[in-house]
Amino acid sequence: MDHSGLPNWDDMRVLLCFWRAGSTLRAASQLGVSHQTVSRRLGNLETSLGARLVDRNVSPWQLTLTGEKIAHDAQDIETVMLAAGQSARQGGHDMSGRVRITSVHLGFELLLMPALQTLQQKFPLLEFDLASDDTPANIQSGNFDIAVRFTNSPPPHLLGCHVGDIRFGLYGRPDLIQKLEQGGGVQTAPALPYVGLVSARAQQIHRAKVPFPTSKITNVNDLATLVTAVSAGMGIGFMPDIVGQKHSHLVASKTVEGPQPMNVWILRNEDSRGSAKIRAIEASLADSMRATLQ
C-alpha cells in the first residue's frame, strides 16, 4: 500500500477492472490474480483515499457513488497513460502491419467501423483483415488478434475488457406504438402485427416473451431485414436502441421493456498478453466504442 497520501495506481487499476467486469471473480480472472487479491487491493485503495468505494452488503459487490466517480477518474488517467505509450510506440514505427479482427455483422456496422476509422487516423501504417464470424474458438486458435463479442458470459480463458452494453427496445411506426399504449395498457391493447428475429445466432439477444396480443407474426433471420420490415409497417419488433434511435420514422414503446441487455466485449487470446501493439489497439477501440455506447 502506498503511504505517500496518494492512491496507488495498481490499486486504481484493480478498481477500474472491477468496475468494468462487474465482479471480483471476473476482475481477478482478467488481471490474472486471485479474488482475494482484488478484495485486498480495493481495501487498500479505500484506506488510502479515506472513503468507502465498494458496497459489500450486496451480492455481487457494487461500487458506491464515490467508487463510480473514482473509477471514472481512473479511466481518464488510463486513457492519458495509454495515449502516451501509443505516441511513443508510433514514433518507433511499432504500430504497423496487419491486425486480424472478427465480430458479428452488427458489431462491425454499429461499433467497429467508426472505431476503426479513428484507429486508422492514429496509426496510418496499420492494415486490417476483417471477418464477420462469432466462433469462440477462433481467437484462441490464433486465427484472429481481436474479437468483438456480444455476450454476458465471455470465455474465461480469453483476455479482454467490457466496453458497454447493447440495450433493446420495442420499436415500430408511430401509429402501431400508439395503438399498443393507448387505453388500459398492453394487456388490453388490440392485437398487433409482430416482427421477430429467429436466427440461431441472435436468439440469445432477441428472445423475449411478447407481452401483448399479436394478430400475425413475421419471422426474419437478420437485423437488417427486421429494421426494414418494421419500417415498412409490417409490425413492431425488438431491436437494439442504438439501431432504432437512428430511424426517425420509428418510435420506441415507453411501456414495454426490451430483452436483457447484452455486454459488449473486446477479447484477445493469451498470446497477445505481451504485445504492446495489440493492447494499444484494444485500448483505442475500447475508447471509441464506449463513446458510441454512452
pLDDT tens-digit readout, 40-70: 999 999 998 999 999 999 888 999 999 999 9
**Which fold does the domain 94-159+262-293 belong to in CATH?**
D-Maltodextrin-Binding Protein; domain 2 (3.40.190)
What is d(CA 20, CA 50) in angstroms, rounded to the nearest whole number?
23
Domain boundaries, the chain: 1-92, 94-159+262-293, 168-257
Tens digit of each residue's pLDDT (9 = 90 or more) over 111-144: 899 899 888 888 899 999 998 875 554 555 567 8
Given this model, what pLDDT does residue 207 score?
Answer: 46
What average pLDDT score do residues 157-163 get?
Answer: 83
Cβ atoms 85, 92 nearer than 8 A: no
Q: Is pLDDT larger for residue 183 or for residue 66?
A: 66
Report the range of poorest mean pLDDT among 5-14, 35-44, 165-174, 283-292. Answer: 5-14
CA distance 117 to 289: 12
Higher pLDDT, 85 or 104: 104
pLDDT digits (tens, 9 = 90+) for 195-206: 988 765 444 444
* Cα→Cα distances 228→33, 86, 195, Å: 47, 41, 10
The per-residue pLDDT for 83 is 61
Q: Is residue 278 scored above 90 in pLDDT?
A: no
> 85, 76, 98: which is closest to 12 by C-alpha?
76
User: 168-257 belongs to which CATH class?
Assistant: alpha beta
Average pLDDT of the chain?
A: 82
**pLDDT tier, 153 (very low <50, low <70, confident <90, very high otherwise):** confident
Following DSSP, what letter does each residue of 182-199 receive, concatenated?
STT-GGGSPPEEEEEE--
- Mean pLDDT, residues 62-85: 81
pLDDT of residue 90: 43
Q: Do domains 1-92 and 94-159+262-293 have the same CATH topology?
A: no
- CATH topology for 1-92 is Arc Repressor Mutant, subunit A (1.10.10)
State the pLDDT at residue 140: 54
pTM of this structure? 0.59
* pLDDT value at residue 2: 46
pLDDT (mean) for 160-183:
89
d(CA 94, CA 279): 12
Tell me phi and psi for residue 45, to 5 degrees. -65, -40
Residue 1 has pLDDT above 80, yes or no: no
Say how many C-beta atoms besides its own lie within 10 A of residue 244's C-beta.
Answer: 21
pLDDT reading at 5 higher than 80: no
| Backbone region of residue 142 per phi and psi (left: phi > 0; alpha: psi in -120 to 50; beta: other values) | left
pLDDT at 35 over 60: yes
Res 66: pLDDT: 93
Q: What percent of the chain has pLDDT over 70?
A: 84
Is residue 1 exposed (0-12), middle (13-18) or buried (19+ Cβ within 10 Å)? middle
pLDDT of 64 reads 92
pLDDT at 93 over 50: no
Question: Tell me, what's the pLDDT at 34?
Answer: 87
The better pLDDT of the pair 237, 30 is held by 237
